[in-house]
Amino acid sequence: MSDKSRSAEQSGSSEAQIAVHWKEEKYFKPPQSFIEQANLSDPDVRERFGERNFPDCFREYADLLDWSKPYTEVLDTGKPPFWKWFADGELNACHNCVDRHLGKYRNKAALIFVSEPEDDAPVAMTYQELYVRVNEMAALLRDYCGLKAGDRVTLHLPMTLDLPITMLACARLGVVHSQVFGGFSGQSCGQRIEDSGSRYLITADAYWRSGKLIDHKEKADIAVKTAEEAGQKVDKVLIWQRYPGKNSSPTAMVEGRDVIINDLLKDYAGQRVEPVAMNAEAPLFLMYSSGTTGKPKGCQHRTGGYLAYVAGTSKYIEDIHPEDTYWCMADIGWITGHSYIVYGPLALAATSVIYEGTPTFPDARRPWRIAERLGVNIFHTSPTAVRALRRLDPEGPAQSPQQFKHMTTVGEPIEPEAWRWYYHQIGKDQAVIVDTWWQTETGGFLCSTIPALDDMKPGSAGPALPGIYPVIFDENGAEVARGSGRAGNICIRNPWPGIMQTIWGDDQRFVDTYYKRYCRNTDSTDWRDWPYMAGDGAMQAEDGYYRILGRVDDVINVSGHRLGTKEIESACLTVADVAEAAVVPVVDEIKGRVPDVYVSLGSDAGDLEDIKSRIIKACDDMIGKIARPRQIHIVPDMPKTRSGKIMRRVLAAISNGADTGDVTTLANPDVVEEIQNMVQGENASKSSADMPDDIRNFGNND
Ligand code: WT7
C-alpha cells in the first residue's frame, strides 16, 4: 500500500479529499452593454446580504411580492432544521404571478407557446387571458373536484400552456400540486400519486415529441393501477386534449373515471375565484427527486419563502425585466421549470416561452429560429443540450439570427470547452453566461456569478449567491480551505428562503439525508449548528469560485437529471431471471453520465438477448426512457467483499475503461478479471486518476 493511500485510510478520508488537478481557466468579462441595463449592478450587494445582515437581508426578496398580510418575523429557527420563513405573513402565489400584473401588463404576453410542428404559429397568451383561464380552471378544481387548500393533486403533463394554467389554478386555491415529468412512466407517476395521497390525476391525451404525436393517456391507466395497488384510490382522471374537441390518443376512456377538461371548462366560462390567502409556510408544491435509496423523495416547497427566492434570483441572476422575452428550454416537470419557467419569471411579469418538443427537431437550428421569431433575449439551457447542439451543428449557431444578452447553464458541470463554444457560437461573444449550481431541494440558485458584477470562469459555477454561505467539509467535518486544491462535501451553513420544508411525509428522512452528517449539536436552535449537506463534491479556488465535481452518493446525473442507482437496480430485479443487479455511471459525451447495468442470473435462465430486452423494458416501464441503460453486462458473478457486498466501485472503473485498483482483498478477485476481459476487451485501461471524481469515488459509501 502506498503512503498516500495508507494515510488516507488512517484518517478515514476518501479520495474526494485528495488533490484535484485542474487548470485555472481565464476569466471572461461581462459585456458593457449588459452591465448598463442590469437589474443588479450594486457592488455592495454581497455586503448587504452578508452574515451581519442575515436573515433580514432576505426582506429584499420578500418585498418583491404582494402580501395580503405582511410578515413581521423573517426567520424562525425554533425547530431546526424545519426553518420557517416570513411565517406570520400571508400571500397567494397565483395572485403574485398573475392578478397583480393586470394593471400594468394586462395585454402583454405572459407565456408564448411554441408547438413542435413548425407549421403551427406560436401562441401568445396575455396576462389577461392567463387570468381568465386560471380562474376557470380554479373554479373547476374547486367545484367539480371539491379540492381545497392543503389537498394534493398529481399532474402528469407535457409542455403545453395547460401545465402552467393547472399549476397556477392549484396555487390560487392553496392546493398543493405535484407535477411529474411527462417523460416518466405511468408506474413512476402512480408511485408519486400514492406517496402524495392524490385523489385526482390531471393528465393529457397526447403531445408532440421528435415528430411523433405521443400517446400520453396510456400512462394514466398504468398510473392509476399502480397507485391503487399501493393503496391510493384515484377518483378521477382529468384530461387536457392537445387539440381541444379532438381525441388524439388511441387509449380508451374509462367510463365514470376519465373526463375531458376542456369540455368541462365550458361550464365554468367566465367564473372568477378569489385567490385564497395562504400562510407563507403553507406548501405550494411537491417535486419528487431521486435519492440514494429506492423511493423518490417528495421535496416540499413553501409558498412565501420559495416565491420570494425565485423572484429575487430571477431578477438578479437571470436579469429578467418585464420587457424581456425569456426562454428556458428545460421541462416544467423538473424544478428548473417550476422555478425558472413559471414562478420566477411570472412573478416578475416577464414573457416566458414554453417549447413543446425536442430542441433538435426538425434540425439543430430550430432553437435559433424560435429565438429570432419571438425576440428571445435571455436563453437558459443545460450542458447536455449545449453538447448535443455542438455535435450536430458546430459552426451553425454563429451564422444564425439569435441575439442574446444573457445565457444560463444548469444541471451538470459544463466542461470549459463546451462553455467556450456556448459563449462564442450561441452567444456570439455578446451574452453574459451564468453557470447556476443548485438542486431540486434548494428551490433556486445557490452558486453563480452575478452577471454584471463578476467575471465568468468557464467550468466553475462561481461564488455563492448573496445571502448564501457555503462551506466545504472533509469526511471528518474539518473545513477544506479555499485555494487548497482539495475537494470535499459542499454544504450551506445557513438556511435561505428557497430551501425545501421537508420530505413529504418523512421528516426523519429529511433530517437524516441533509443535516445528520454535519450537525454540530442536535439540541441547538442556532442555525449555525445545522449546515445543509448538498451531496455534491466541490472545491473552492483561491478567487472564491466554486467548482462542482458531481454527486458523492449513488445518484447518476443523466442530462442534468438525477436518477437513483437503486431505483434502476430495483427495476432490473423485477425481471424473473435476474438474481443480482448493480448500476454504475459511465461518462457520456453528450449526456454527462449514463447508467450501465451489471446483472447475474439465476440457475436456469433463458435466452440472454431476451433477458436484456426485458431489462430495458423494465427500466422504461418503471422509471421512464431517461433511465435506459447504455449497456447490460450479464456476468458470471458480481465482485464482492468477503462480507458479501457488491463492489460497485470496481464495476464503475471497468465500465469507464479505468484500472480497478487493488482487488486482492475481494472474496472473488478472479471474477474481476473475467468481467474486465468481457467489457474492456483488449483495450488497455486508463489510470483511475484520470476519471472524474464522481466516477472515481462511486460506491465508496457502500
Ligand atoms: C444536482 C441536482 C438544479 C436544477 C437541475 C438539476 C448537479 C446542478 C449544476 C451546475 C454542476 C450541477 C449537482 C446537483 N448540478 N447544477 N451548475 N454545475 N453540477 O436538479 O435533479 O435536483 O440535480 O445536479 O450534482 O446536486 P436536480
Q: Whose CA is nearest to atom 3 of ligand 1?
A: 439
Residues contacting 245, CB < 8 A, separation 6+ = 262
Q: Whose CA is nearest to atom 8 of ligand 1?
A: 411
How many Å apart are CA 296 and CA 276, to the nearest integer?
Answer: 30
CB atoms within 10 A of CB 40: 16
C-alpha cell of residue 321: 425585466
- Mean pLDDT calculated for residue range 83-112: 98
**Of the candidates 114, 672, 568, which has an alpha carbon nearest to the alpha carbon of residue 376?**
114
Angle between helix axes 608-622 and 565-573 (nearest 10 degrees) is 130
pLDDT the model gives residue 693: 82
How many Å apart are CA 422 and CA 399, to the nearest integer?
Answer: 13
pLDDT band at 15 (very low <50, low <70, confident <90, very high): very low
| Alpha helices in 515-647, H assignment, sequence order | 565-573, 608-622
Per-residue pLDDT tens for 48-91? 999 999 999 999 999 999 999 999 999 999 999 999 999 999 99
Residue 195 · residue 179 · CB < 8 Å:
no
How many Å apart are CA 252 and CA 380, to the nearest integer?
Answer: 38
Residues with CB under 6 A from ligand 1: 289, 335-336, 410-413, 435-440, 461, 534-536, 548, 550-551, 557, 560-562
**21 alpha carbon to ligand 1 midpoint, in Å?**
22
What's the half-sphere exposure (Cβ side, CA atoms, 13 Å) at 367?
Answer: 28
C-alpha cell of residue 505: 411525509
**331 alpha carbon to ligand 1 midpoint, in Å?**
15
**559 alpha carbon to ligand 1 midpoint, in Å?**
10
pLDDT the model gives residue 627: 92
**Of the candidates 310, 280, 321, 306, which has an alpha carbon nearest to the alpha carbon of residue 104?**
321
Looking at the CA of residue 436, tell me the nearest atom of ligand 1: 17
Looking at the CA of residue 560, tell me the nearest atom of ligand 1: 6
pTM for this entry: 0.94
Q: Whose CA is nearest to atom 18 of ligand 1?
A: 413
How many Å apart are CA 281 and CA 303, to the nearest integer?
Answer: 6
**412 alpha carbon to ligand 1 midpoint, in Å?**
5
CB atoms within 10 A of CB 543: 15
pLDDT the model gives residue 702: 55
pLDDT band at 680 (very low <50, low <70, confident <90, very high): confident
pLDDT the model gives residue 14: 43
Q: Whose CA is nearest to atom 5 of ligand 1?
A: 411
**To test the ligand 1 pocket, which listed residue (342, 387, 415, 439) has its Cβ within 8 A of the most ligand atoms?**
439
Q: Whose CA is nearest to atom 2 of ligand 1?
A: 439
Q: Whose CA is nearest to atom 17 of ligand 1?
A: 437
pLDDT the model gives residue 692: 85
**632 alpha carbon to ligand 1 midpoint, in Å?**
26
pLDDT band at 21 (very low <50, low <70, confident <90, very high): low
pLDDT the model gives residue 414: 93
CA angle in degrees (0–180, nearest 5) for 335-184-352: 40
Residues contacting 242, CB < 8 A, separation 6+ = 160, 204, 205, 206, 207, 208, 213, 248
What's the half-sphere exposure (Cβ side, CA atoms, 13 Å) at 595?
Answer: 32
Residue 76 · residue 322 · CB < 8 Å:
no
What's the half-sphere exposure (Cβ side, CA atoms, 13 Å) at 399?
Answer: 6
Residue 432 · residue 406 · CB < 8 Å:
yes
**410 alpha carbon to ligand 1 midpoint, in Å?**
7
Looking at the CA of residue 435, tell me the nearest atom of ligand 1: 17
How many Å apart are CA 180 and CA 155, to the nearest integer?
Answer: 6
Q: Do β-strands 546-551 and 532-540 pair in parallel, antiparallel, or remain unpaired?
A: antiparallel
Residues contacting 621, CB < 8 A, separation 6+ = 185, 186, 187, 222, 571
Per-residue pLDDT tens for 557-602? 999 888 989 999 999 999 999 999 999 999 999 999 999 999 999 9
- Mean pLDDT calculated for residue range 388-413: 96
How many Å apart are CA 161 and CA 181, to the nearest integer?
Answer: 15
Residues contacting 217, CB < 8 A, separation 6+ = 203, 204, 205, 206, 239, 249, 251
Q: Whose CA is nearest to atom 11 of ligand 1?
A: 413
**335 alpha carbon to ligand 1 midpoint, in Å?**
10
